[in-house]
Structure 1
């Protein structure tokens, strides 16, 4: 949520979708590692979005878990 707030403070539009609570991560994924990966991807998206005109910058975030132990996430953004 901090990264969404950071983007918002830079006037970057965003959308966030997570239909249900992510309860159980895949067994081979460590929470700390996942948080680091998501943070790096967000930082990249924010950095690229800052290079665009304010009305063109947008970040779309989606977290999805169909069943426990699976996880899908997407962070989409525009770039030059």
Structure 2
């Protein structure tokens, strides 16, 4: 599935990996470091990652700059 790009700050599809890094497909370079080895699982479309609430299982972004978007409107979406 192609990544939408209009105005995106971060887009992880949970499939695009480079080693232990979740690659940002928005084009802004907000790649994330996977911690805790969340397993791959079958998603609604393609693969997904299983973050089951275990301590130490998360994706860390190296910069917080993406939390300050250029406009006052910000939408977060996860499923």
TM-score grouping bracket, smaller chain normalisation = under 0.3
For the pair shown, the structure with the greater C-alpha radius of gyration is: 1
TM-score by length of 1: 0.24
Q: Which structure is higher in helix share?
A: 1
TM-score by length of 2: 0.25
Larger RCO: 1 or 2 (CA < 8 Å, sep 6+): 1
